[in-house]
């Protein structure tokens, strides 16, 4: 009589997947129970007011000089109405340096980061405006104050090619998307606090994405160095 030897790698992989599923289910169950047991009643925006964005980021720092522009990418009137509902304040500026390189800075802030009031990601805004995505990747931007976990996109429309670096915040924490974002929101919820949210976007018009992303990093480092520790914590989750 013949016997079959079990496929151990496949069995182990299945067991690991099952354990992961159980852990995720437990996390979601605990989150559900916590959400029902503790109803957030205080807004972080009221506990720790941020102030106007235009007053938080200097018009000049390092080799960069800024001017006010309307560069926040949006699409049709319906999307504009959605952005007005989501965002409490926005900042759009173009900065230039002594080498003639231009950087567009856009910051969008919403004082209520609960479901249905989330930041509007560039992956949504740009295609709605007619752009197509040429590439995307994740990046860790090392600064003297800590690491920013950012996302990079390259969007194009006609002759315009726009490399983008952006990150999102929930309260005082870099959040990204998905489970990490949900867990961050949950931590505030368990304290009875409704967090605010922010999207910080740096972009430039360039057909050389490698140079563009290098310029982005230099700009971000200079900007963070010009901020107070309190503002830096809210814009990038870096208190140092």
| Among the listed residues 201, 204, 224, the one whose alpha carbon sits nearest the alpha carbon of residue 91 | 201
Instruction: For the chain, report the end-to-end CA distance as a whole number of angstroms.
Output: 69
Q: What pLDDT digit, counting tens, does each position of 184-210 carry?
A: 888 888 888 889 989 999 999 999 999
| Among the listed residues 160, 147, 140, the one whose alpha carbon sits nearest the alpha carbon of residue 239 | 147
Within 8 A by CB and 6+ apart from 186, the residues are 31, 34, 35
Task: Tell me what pLDDT residue 162 has.
Answer: 96
Q: Determine the Cα–Cα distance for residues 183 and 19; give it in Å rounded to an integer.
A: 19
User: How does the average pLDDT of the chain come out, rounded?
Assistant: 82
Q: Determine the Cα–Cα distance for residues 171 and 162; give it in Å rounded to an integer.
A: 28
Q: What pLDDT digit, counting tens, does each position of 44-102 carry?
A: 888 888 889 999 999 999 999 998 765 555 445 555 555 666 788 999 999 999 999 99
Entry pTM: 0.78
Q: Determine the Cα–Cα distance for residues 117 and 158; give it in Å rounded to an integer.
A: 32
Beta bridge partners, 167, equal: 200
Task: Tell me what pLDDT residue 154 has.
Answer: 98
Angle at 223 (CA atoms; ends 108, 210), nearest 5 degrees:
90
A 10 A CB-CB count for 81 gives 11
Task: Tell me what pLDDT residue 118 has.
Answer: 59
Q: Determine the Cα–Cα distance for residues 223 and 141; give it in Å rounded to an integer.
A: 13
Q: Determine the Cα–Cα distance for residues 88 and 139; give it in Å rounded to an integer.
A: 28
Q: Can you point out the beta strands (E) in the chain? A: 42-43, 60-61, 64-68, 89-96, 102-110, 132-143, 146-157, 160-170, 173-174, 193-194, 197-203
Tell me the C-alpha to C-alpha distance, in Å, between residue 232 and each of 3, 68, 140, 164, 235.
64, 21, 17, 20, 5
Task: Tell me what pLDDT residue 4 has.
Answer: 46
């Amino acid at each position: 009589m013949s016997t079959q030897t079990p496929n151990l790698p496949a069995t182990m992989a299945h067991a690991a997947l099952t354990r992961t599923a159980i852990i995720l289910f437990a996390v979601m169950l605990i989150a559900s129970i916590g959400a029902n047991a503790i109803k957030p009643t205080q807004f972080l925006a009221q506990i720790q007011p941020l102030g106007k964005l235009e007053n938080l980021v200097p018009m000049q720092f390092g080799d960069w000089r800024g001017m006010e522009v309307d560069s926040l990418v949006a699409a049709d009137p319906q999307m504009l109405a959605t952005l007005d509902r989501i965002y409490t304040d926005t900042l759009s500026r173009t900065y230039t340096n002594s080498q003639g390189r231009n950087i567009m800075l856009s910051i969008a802030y919403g004082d209520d980061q609960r479901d249905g009031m989330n930041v509007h990601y560039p992956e949504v805004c740009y295609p709605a405006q007619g752009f197509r995505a040429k590439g995307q990747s994740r990046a860790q931007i090392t600064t003297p104050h800590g690491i920013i976990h950012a996302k990079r996109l390259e969007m194009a429309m006609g002759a315009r090619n726009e490399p983008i670096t952006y990150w999102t915040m929930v309260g005082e924490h870099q959040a990204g998307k998905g489970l990490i974002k949900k867990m961050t929101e949950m931590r505030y919820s368990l304290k009875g606090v409704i967090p605010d949210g922010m999207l910080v976007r740096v972009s430039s018009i360039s057909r050389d994405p490698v140079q563009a992303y290098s310029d982005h990093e230099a700009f971000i480092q200079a900007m963070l160095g010009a901020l107070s520790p309190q503002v830096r914590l809210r814009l990038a989750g870096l208190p140092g």
